[in-house]
Amino acid sequence: MDQNLEKLPSLQRLQAIMARLRSADGCQWDRAQTHKSLLPYLIEETYEVVETIESGQMPQLREELGDLLVQVYFHAQLAAERDDFTIDDIASDSCDKLVRRHPHVFGEKKDLNPEQVRDQWERIKVDSREKESVLAGVPKTMPALLLAYRVGEKAAGVGFDWKNPRDIFDKIKEEIGEFEVEFDSAKRDGMVHELGDLIFALVNLARRIGVDPEYALRKTVGRFIERFEYIEKSLKEQGRSFSETTLEEMELLWQQAKR
């Protein structure tokens, strides 16, 4: 390791390493990358951070956040080579944005609760014309549940929301009824439309009670996998296959797995 690199503060060292990897005498793989070619790695590292947080593996979180940080510095290095912007520009913009969106801290002191801070954040973005629309800036490529959650959250930030979470139950019942009509008529387009409305209503309920629907669904899928694997293991121990097992017998094993 270059001794000059080792003497640098960590973030400067990371920046210097990325520049070295991209230099003429650096790494052929790193030199071949572009913003687009790096996208799969950026997404993968982000999901690894999410998985680590959800599993509560705090020691591993340090490593995963570091891997994600490398991706940020990699993109910054690519941009710097084109004279688009630098990592310092990124940090400076972020600092300005944080100060601007927290006037209750850096301006006139106000004791706001988390929900009021979130709503203020959304209003500032629109009032300052930083965003042309309340819903601007939400990537449409986000996972659908997360997209629905963020769209509902942004609309709520300017007051477009149910006053009481219990009111959403009526909306859910309404959407179930409308879906049943389309289901009974066997109209696929109608079912797709109404099922989407029903899921969106459920996401809004989750948002109002402070539950991340993506996390809740992941937990449910995780439980389903564990219980289904219990059924598989039990059948293997009995020397039986799924084709030799009735639904009632599988349901019995499912209930055992739940216990």
**Among the residues of 23-143, which ranges form H helices?**
28-32, 39-55, 58-81, 87-100, 103-106, 114-127
pLDDT of residue 3: 67
Confidence of residue 1 (pLDDT cuts 50, 70, 90): low
pTM recorded for the entire structure: 0.65
Q: What's the average model confidence in pLDDT over 111-118? A: 85
Confidence of residue 159 (pLDDT cuts 50, 70, 90): confident
Query: Residue 213 contacts by C-beta under 8 Å, 6 or more apart in sequence?
Result: 145, 146, 148, 149, 202, 203, 206, 207
Average pLDDT, the chain: 91
Q: What's the average model confidence in pLDDT over 31-58? A: 92
| DSSP code for 113 | -
Confidence of residue 138 (pLDDT cuts 50, 70, 90): confident
For residue 255, the SS3 value is helix
CA dist 220 and 231 (Å) reads 17
In contact, 45 and 71? CB cutoff 8 Å: yes
pLDDT of residue 215: 87
CA dist 30 and 16 (Å) reads 14
Length of the chain: 259
**Model pLDDT for residues 55-113, shown as the tens digit of each residue:** 888 889 999 999 999 999 999 999 999 999 999 999 999 999 999 989 999 988 888 88
Encoded tokens for 71: 């991706």
Q: Which of 213, 145, 205, 146 is nearest to 173 (CA)?
A: 205
